[in-house]
Amino acid sequence: MEAQMKIAVCDDDKLLTGEIDGQLQRIRQKMGISFETDIFFDGATLWESIEKNGSYDIIYLDIEMDNMDGITVAKKIREQDPYTILLFVSSYDSYYEQLFEVEPLRFLRKPIDPEKFEEYFRIAYGRLMNLDERLHFEFNKRLYQIPYREIMYMESQRRVIRLVEKNGQDYRFYMKMKELMQEISRAGNMFIRIHCSYVVNYYYIKTFSATEVILLNGETLPVSTEYKNEAMKIYMDMVD
């Protein structure tokens, strides 16, 4: 990754935050990687830090905390950042429906199983590596490299691809859809083909139905019968 990975641990149980930090340091040495870790004891303090200093790559969140609970702060995070990887830590199973709204990567039960903790961390780390991949193309006689995480969707217009970034900027370049799909396959299931002419970034999907996808910015894209079932399967696999 170009910048050092940032991890936050937020739980009102100081013993547990110490345990999670210890697990992270063990994995860091085992994998030979580098990251920064910040500890918070309530959701409000975490959110204040995010507003001031920017978001984190991975956040371990307790659900039940005073002074802003984990689900509330997760919703705030999701409003501005679809990419932060959330892992909830709790003794309770009764929050699954609320958790679905903020799309956590995994749910860790207390007491923490070290093997599960490492397994989920490796999944999160692998996903972060995919986010740093870039699409290379030529546009108006200039060469571009756009990070996958910045691409909201792409539309095929015959032999021309229209790429739309999250900020609304769009580019057009020559490439067949088949070639594009091969190129972005490095991102795993981040990009979902929903139509013969449309590929959408999973992280910008707000709702997914049999006929359309609504993006976080309110834009609507069509889902075709041909791609509906496979697209829905990939989407649900990513949610799980």
Mean pLDDT of 31-37: 94
The one-character DSSP state at 202 is: G
pLDDT at 239 (0 to 100) = 73
pLDDT at 3 (0 to 100) = 59
More confident residue, 2 or 36: 36
pLDDT above 80 (res 182): yes
CATH number assigned to the domain covering 134-239: 2.40.50.1020
- pLDDT 10s digits, 70-122: 889 999 998 888 889 999 998 766 555 566 667 788 888 889 999 999 999 99
pLDDT above 60 (res 1): no
| Mean pLDDT for all residues in the chain | 90
Share above pLDDT 90 across residues of the chain, in percent, rounded to a whole number: 65
Q: Please give the CATH topology (third level) of the domain spanning 5-131.
A: Rossmann fold (3.40.50)
Q: Nearest 5°: CA angle at 213, between 209 and 214?
A: 115
- pLDDT 10s digits, 35-83: 999 999 999 999 999 999 988 999 999 988 888 888 899 999 988 888 8
Mean pLDDT of 12-28: 96
- pLDDT 10s digits, 134-154: 899 988 888 999 989 899 999
pLDDT above 70 (res 2): no
Task: Provide the b/e sequence for 168-186 (b: ≥16 CB within 10 Å).
Answer: eeebebebebeebeebbee
Q: Are 158 and 185 in contact (CB under 8 A)?
A: no
pLDDT at 189 (0 to 100) = 84
Q: What are the domain boundaries of the chain? A: 5-131, 134-239
3-state secondary structure of 169: coil
Same fold, 5-131 and 134-239: no
Mean pLDDT of 145-167: 93
Q: Is 87 exposed, middle or buried (0-12, 13-18, 19+ CB in 10 A)?
A: buried
pLDDT at 96 (0 to 100) = 55
